[in-house]
Amino acid sequence: MVDAIVSAVLERLISTTVGEAEEQVRLVVGVEQDVEKLKRNFRAIQAVLVDAEQKQVKEETVRLWLDQLKDASYDMEDVLDEWITARLKLQIEGAPHQRKKKLRSLLIVGPICEIPKEIENFMYLRFLKLSKAEIVELPETCCELFNLQTLEMEDCCNLKRLPQEIGKLVNLRYLIYNDSYLHYLPRGIERLTCLRTLSEFVVSRSGGKYGSKASNLEGLRHLNHLRGFLAIVGLGNVKDVDEAKNAELEKKKNLFRLELWFNNKEEEEEEESMEENQANQGAISEALQLPPNLESLEIWEYKGKAVFENWIVSLNKLKKLFLINCYNCEIMPPLGKLPLLESLKIRNMNVKKVGDEFLGIKSNHSSGPAIAFPKLKHLKFMKLSEWEEWDFGITRSGKEEITIMPQLNSLEIILCAKLKSLPDQLLQRTKLNLNVSLCPTLF
């Protein structure tokens, strides 16, 4: 245990000195010898730790020594952090003027706790990436890097805040922060109209905890060049229908994958009643108009009673849909209308019965063959604790016989304790891969 701590510190010492050599950065005179001495001392400590862990049970002095060693190891880690940060600052401050002028890319790797304010000197920087840094926030001087096009934070788990003046970075195209948990996005984010990639948009409540320095959902309005993937978290903070409309998500035509999180990232001063919360999220969801070219959509923590019936069926290019933890939803949306849907996963909903409404086909259908879920291949239900019935009563639409899920090859039903039976239309399939688990009343 303590041996592992010492080993970790030793490994960081070795990797740090190797990094110094690779980067050809001159250390302060004498530091190399000190580091080598520390390495020898820690190796010596490791040598006597072979049986110390066993002895600590019987010998009080050994146990106390191990505790002291552990504290010393943690202190050494702190010293290393300070050393790495100081070295980085020295590099930035001491870089020749011509180098500052020419530098286009900068990669900073390691557990530094602070980015030197002098980073603003790299005025022509276009690419800045931090990896495994332990910073909580970026310095405001980063906002002086007017030519910056890519700002990426990888495995910076402690990062909580972006610079308040980030709106100055009008040339920014890629703003990436994986495995970070930002408290809010600064107001001014809406000025970054060149953005192509934004990892996550954090929605703050208007007039809420972070006041005027935080952006609400309307901050997305002018970010119409976003492409690929986007997660929107904190939609539970939206209280105004106009705010949802003004986000103009329907204009983000290059977004193909979207996650909507209806959680509330801010503590409410006055808690809403359950009925008010349901009504509010229902109204907000109906006001949202999603990008028309979505191929993948995940909806999390939605608290309304119905799931976006008015617009979800208009997503004609949708291939994957996950509805997760929509605990209050009592009615399945008419997802059978989605012509390209291939994968559907539903977990934690409050439905008691799934019937014809799920298919989205009416008995008077007359516009060609009646096929519900024409492309669906994978269907999974999980933790629908109140679900009792699943039956499709409708068999014909006009003169046409209804075809249901003709390409389905995988059906999973897990932890649906009250479900009694499956539809005959599905049980008759000979090539269906059926997986039923923890459903005691089924079969």
- Is residue 423 domain-resident? yes
- This model's pTM is above 0.85: no
The C-alpha atoms of residue 132 and residue 154 are separated, in whole angstroms, by 6
* Same domain as 37, residue 112: no
The pLDDT score that the predictor gives to residue 112 is 87
- The string of pLDDT tens digits covering residues 119-166 is 888 989 999 999 999 999 999 999 999 999 999 999 999 999 999 999
- Which tokens go with 228? 């690929």
3-state helix, strand, coil in the chain (%, to 5): 35, 20, 45
* Same domain as 365, residue 229: yes
Domain closes at, from 91, 114, 141: 91
Buried b / exposed e along 115-128 (16+ C-beta atoms within 10 A): bbebbbbbeebbeb
By C-alpha distance, which of 220, 227, 214 is closest to 245? 220
- Is residue 333 domain-resident? yes
Domain that holds residue 70: 2-91
What angle do the packed helices 2-23 and 31-47 form, to 10 degrees?
A: 150
* Same domain as 133, residue 77: no
- List the chain residues with pLDDT less than 70: 1-101, 265-273, 363-369, 395-399
Domain closes at, from 91, 123, 140: 91
* Same domain as 165, residue 81: no
The C-alpha atoms of residue 100 and residue 121 are separated, in whole angstroms, by 7
Q: Which amino acid, 145?
A: L
Query: Based on the structure, what is the number of domains in the chain?
Result: 2
Report how far apart, in Å, the C-alpha atoms of 243 and of each of 11, 58, 221 are.
Answer: 51, 66, 10
Domain closes at, from 91, 116, 143: 91
What angle do the packed helices 60-94 and 2-23 form, to 10 degrees?
A: 20
The pLDDT score that the predictor gives to residue 370 is 84
